[in-house]
Amino acid sequence: MSNEESPASAPTDGVASETPTDAPGGPTTETVPRPVVEPMAPRGSFWTRIDRPFVFGFLVTLGGLGAVVLGLALTSLSTVLIYIALALFAALGLDPAVRLLERRGLSRAIAVLVVTLGLIVVFALLLWMVIPIVVDQISSFVRSVPGMVQEFTRSDLYATLERQFGEQFQDLVAEVQKFLSDFGNLATIGGGALKVGASIATGISGTIIVIVLTLYFLASLSGIKASLLRLAPARDRARAGDITDQITDSVGGYVMGMVVLAFFNALLAFLLYFFLGLPFPPLMATVAFCITLIPLVGSVMFWIIGTGIALFTNPIGALVFAIVYLIYMQIEAYVITPRVMNRAISIPGSLVVIGALAGGTLLGLLGALVAVPVTASILIIIKQVWVPRQDARI
């Protein structure tokens, strides 16, 4: 074999290499210089490469203080933000009625005026008819609590529970009667007369603010949407406008649907309490309307409350109420709700429960009300924006 090395076995770790070349006098070698690559110093992390640590620490501290100040400002403005959210929520709920009148040939301003006047008339009639009765029945309820407890102690149900649980059940009933019979405890629950009066004044002023903001949002809703769309890039405005319309339509349909369902619940509660001879039908109808606005769990909550109150006066009537209302809840879930909510986006029941619980924990009744449309809006954004981007990635 030949002693000549092949090119593949040429040295690679020197600073120069010898390359054979053909010449008339025989093979010669030509030295080709190679660049020397100096090893780079190991690159440390960001936290070990801070050139000016004092400036960096100052900026971090300043950013932390700014975040704290912003959090405190948002906490102080929480009431105002709640008013704005509630007004916007109400405006989106009334917008379908305004657009219906616009399709009938009315202008936007006249349609808003008609809807506003109709809303004011309905609320005035409800207040005029319900508030005096509710106030009178609340007073009657407070005065009749001891008698209701005494009547309950003479019923067969009480005797059965007494035989089952013994003296512990007697002590429990006695403590409940003693607590409810003490008006000082009732005042303590209410927070005192001064606190109740301040709460009423705050509620009235807040209601006025929400009504004014609702009218403003309702009159200028299209302008607000157009102004917000100007913040999006021009190439994405058409798609953003379509997503915005889907969100506003779903919120509006949801609000109107929940009001209709709450009205049906209130009407059924009033009729059952009235024909079964149970106490305080108007009061229970009002409670049913307010509680059943909470999605999914509101009907169950009122079923427990209505059955429990009826149990103190008429156990048979309470049983009938529980059965009839339970049947109605099934009809509402499988027949009425799909028909009423046909314009609102459908979301999984588990997300409805999670959203209602999270919203109620954060913002109380308002949070529970807005939880479902907020969840629906998030699902729309995920389906229309995030999922297509993920599908486009290979």
- Which pLDDT tens digit goes with each residue over 276-307? 888 878 878 888 888 888 776 788 889 998 88
pLDDT of 245 > 90? The answer is no
Residue 86 falls inside a structural domain? no
Q: What mean pLDDT is predicted for residues 327-341?
A: 80
pLDDT of 323 > 90? The answer is yes
347-356: Cβ within 8 A, 24+ apart: 347/372, 347/375, 347/376, 347/379, 349/296, 351/375, 351/379, 352/295, 352/296, 353/296, 353/297, 356/294, 356/295, 356/296, 356/297
Backbone angles phi, psi at 90, to 5 degrees: -65, -40
CA 38 distance to own-chain centroid: 60
Report CA-CA distances (Å) from 160 to 64, 165, 206, 315, 386. Answer: 63, 9, 49, 13, 60
Residue 313 falls inside a structural domain? yes
**Cβ-based neighbours of 223, under 8 Å, separated by 6 or more:** none
pLDDT recorded at residue 326: 92
Predicted confidence band at 366 (pLDDT cuts at 50, 70, 90)?
Answer: low
Residue 325 falls inside a structural domain? yes
Task: Count how many domains the chain has.
Answer: 1
Residue 273 falls inside a structural domain? yes
Rounded percentage of the chain residues whose pLDDT exceeds 90? 5
Q: Which amino acid is at 148?
A: M
pLDDT of 45 > 60? The answer is no
Say what the alpha-carbon torsion angle 56, 62, 66, 72 is, to the nearest 10 degrees.
130
Other CB atoms closer than 10 Å to residue 240's CB: what's the count? Answer: 17
pLDDT recorded at residue 189: 47
pLDDT recorded at residue 14: 46
Can you tell me the distance from the alpha carbon of 378 to that of 357, in angstroms, rounded to the nearest whole number?
17
Residue 296 falls inside a structural domain? yes
Q: List the domain range (segments joined by +) for residue 260.
A: 235-394
pLDDT recorded at residue 3: 46
Residue 281 falls inside a structural domain? yes
Task: Say which residue the tokens 């929480």 belong to.
Answer: 78
Say what the alpha-carbon torsion angle 163, 166, 167, 172 is, to the nearest 10 degrees.
-80
Residue 310 falls inside a structural domain? yes
pLDDT recorded at residue 11: 47
Predicted confidence band at 43 (pLDDT cuts at 50, 70, 90)?
Answer: low
Predicted confidence band at 35 (pLDDT cuts at 50, 70, 90)?
Answer: low
Average pLDDT in the chain: 74
Can you tell me the distance from the alpha carbon of 293 to that of 214, in angstroms, rounded to the nearest whole number?
19
Predicted confidence band at 372 (pLDDT cuts at 50, 70, 90)?
Answer: confident
381: burial class by Cβ within 10 Å (0-12, 13-18, 19+)?
middle
Residue 317 falls inside a structural domain? yes
Q: At what angle do helices 237-275 and 221-229 cross, to 10 degrees?
A: 140
Report CA-CA distances (Å) from 225 to 70, 94, 237, 252, 320. Answer: 27, 16, 11, 15, 50
